[in-house]
Chains A and B, each alone.
Chain A
Amino acid sequence: MNISIASGKGGTGKTTVAVNLAHVWANDPQCRIHLVDCDVEAPNDHLFLDVSAAETRAVTLPKPVIDESKCTACGKCAKACNYNALTVVTKHVLLFEELCHSCNVCSYVCPENAISYAPIEIGKIHNVTQGLPFVLSWGELAIGQVQAPDIIRELRNELEPDTINILDSSPGCGCAVRETLAGADVVILVTEPTPFGLNDLRLAAELSLQLGLPTGIIINRSDGCDKIIEDFSRESGVPILGRIPFARKYAETYSKGKILAEQYPEIETIMRDLCKKIQALAKTVPPKQSFLFKSQTEIGSGKFVSAEPRDDMQQTVVISGKGGTGKTTICASLAALRPGNVFFDADVDASNLPILLKGERIATRKFTSGAKAFIDYDKCIECGNCARSCRFRAIRKHEDGSYHIAPEACEGCGFCELICPVKAIEPRPADTGCLHLSESKYGKLSHAFLNIGEENSGKLVTEVSNLALTTLAAEKASHILGDGSPGTGCPVIAAMTGCNLAVAVTEPTVSGVHDLKRALKLAAHFDITSCVIINKADINIEQTNEIKDFCSEHKIEVIGEVPFDEAVGQALKEGKHLLDVSPCPARTAIENISKQLELKFNI
């Protein structure tokens, strides 16, 4: 049985559930357990386990090799490559294999037959078969490579049918998650009982149900009254399988990289109960329906008001190396302290700032990115050449013999257009989402919605930040405050572009510290001044001190610390930011931080 564990975004406790579930289920002598970490860009399940020796093997993909003796530098390959992986300068063909999607287009168009394919390592798979109560595997995408789904496919190929395979997915709803969910018998969605959690849960549930998979929910950080998720469960027919209570001791144990079920019998009981419920769920038929929020699909009918950017405009972005550090809460609270300015939400995968700032939609425009293949059925002779040659397995044969392109799997390489004998396939601009402008009590807000399963390239983020810029230019204010997307990839780079200051929010946990360093390195790379906010600073003083030491060594200011405060959890449940709740230690901390930002960085 394959169990995929997913969530609309990071920081919900997906890894906690996966590791603890594997740990507890392994006590059943009847079952063989295999925990598979499919978050190949940031695998961290193994950080929670005592892993001494792992067997490692390389994952390869065929990449082009150019035979210089045959190549005439005609440039046809570079022109045909839709990924900009080839270029020709002064009679030399240069290949950038990390951008290559192994689509075969270049070798097909080469008139000299100078391009062949040879295997190149794109990452690794690690297996631990001894020393743990279960088998552990994790994939690791090599730095600079982009083909995460290929590593996940390799991991899935190793799964044995008579084993309980627990697959820990990467966050979001992109192609890597789709690959992790493929072939699952059950999907477990981990969420929090907050409006954000619900927003992200709807996206993840949409993807899982689109794929026709039995799906269940686990509520993390539950305080027993999780009405918001219960309502969704009732409305959608997606059952709640378990709840992990909200408690400071769990956060502390997690921050030390320890397994909760080992220390707390109540967690063990929850997990054991979950095992039973998962087995029962696997036999059910999932509901067929769409559950997207009105706020996710609503279209504004007004107009965008824009002007040429002025010189006095300043842009600040709040970043964090990973999700779930409290970035959006802090950003919304800082926004509430700066009314009249313009805000943006660069997290286009799961836009949450509009929920906290309670934005009302003003205007919307569609966003297209790249191209996808379309079949002209008047011309198609159903020869199947396209389906056989598609590297991404995006063209599928239906029962009636016709061929169909799965838009979410098509990566727009254009190979099918080239090989179609009757020219029945053409590229069309792909609709990948919507760009929105909303009005909130505190000012205008630009944000976006990326269609489910679309990969975020950073282009939509650039549109969001440009919209904030042109909107601000038409207003009197001079500041833009943006909520960056989590991680350190292309979308974050796009959100940082043009910023004067990056405020990095981190938490004192093993992964928090690791990810903060990456985020700060990125800001330094782009010559952007940065400062740090340590959220939940008091849950692990040791890690907090490590963060402070790191910052002072690199001359980065720690602008403030926010204590762990249960009032924050309550505020989020009600969809409020911290300026919207009665005074509490976290609110006081944010107000002080805001003053410091004004004093030291003039924002």
Chain B
Amino acid sequence: MKLVFASTGTNLEAALDPRFGRCSYFVCCDTESKEVSSVSNSQNLNAAQGAGIQAATTVADYGADYALCGHCGPKAFRVLQTAGIKVICGVEGKISDLIKEFEAGNLKEVDSADVEGHWM
């Protein structure tokens, strides 16, 4: 399984970033090969608009099976859903702990965005 985490840092010791579109990094982890890589999200962090959409596209381009984040808005969710990526949100903590939780089957995917878009 390829997991992508919205992260505050570049490795598995980093904490999950509560934001998706404007998180600092994406940490990508392949649970079979144990390969870990990271992608900076700074370009989207500073985007005037549409950060969630571009961030979700980055995650889709990596070929993720699951995206894990604190919160996921409707636009990012639509992109992830179209790309067939399952979304787990409402979680927090260190990424290495979240991988264990995921492998133990304790994390459930959601079927809709958990927050409204920014323009309320």
Contact = CB atoms under 8 A, between A and B. Distances in A.
Interface of A: 83-85, 87-90, 92, 94, 96, 98-99, 143-146, 369-370, 457-459, 462, 488-490, 493, 497, 518, 521-522, 525-527
Nearest to B63: A90
A83 B54 contact: no
B18 A526 contact: yes
B118 A90 contact: no
A489 B119 contact: yes
A369 B48 CA distance: 8
B22 interface: yes
B50 A92 contact: no
Contacts of B19: 497
B47 interface: yes
Contact of A143 (B47, B51, B82, B120): B120
B117 A84 contact: no
Given A89-B57, A94-B78, A522 B120 contact: yes
Q: Is the interface of A mostly helix, strand, loop or mixed?
A: loop
Given A99-B50, A527-B18, A521 B79 contact: no
A144 B119 contact: yes
B116 interface: yes
A525 B115 contact: yes
B120 A518 contact: yes
A28 B111 CA distance: 61
A280 to B, nearest CB: 42
Interface residues of B, number: 29
Given A87-B54, A92-B82, A493 B60 contact: no
Contacts of B57: 87-89
12 contacts: A83-B49, A85-B53, A89-B60, A89-B61, A89-B79, A94-B82, A96-B50, A459-B46, A459-B48, A493-B118, A525-B115, A525-B120
Interface of B: 18-19, 22, 46-51, 53-54, 56-57, 60-61, 70-71, 75, 78-79, 82-84, 115-120
Contacts of A493: 118
Contact of A457 (B48, B54, B71, B84): B48
A294 B82 CA distance: 53
Given A522-B120, A525-B116, A527-B18, A90 B83 contact: yes
A29 B19 CA distance: 58
A521 B120 contact: yes
A87 B81 CA distance: 13
B82 A89 contact: yes
Contacts of B56: 87, 89
A98 B79 contact: no
A143 B117 CA distance: 10
A83 B119 contact: no
From B46, B49, B56, name the one whose CB has the most chain A CB atoms within 10 angstroms. B49
Nearest to B59: A89
Contacts of B79: 87, 89, 94
A452 to B, nearest CB: 19
A490 B83 contact: no
Nearest to B51: A84
B49 A84 contact: yes
Contacts of B49: 83-84, 99, 146, 457, 490
A489 to B, nearest CB: 7
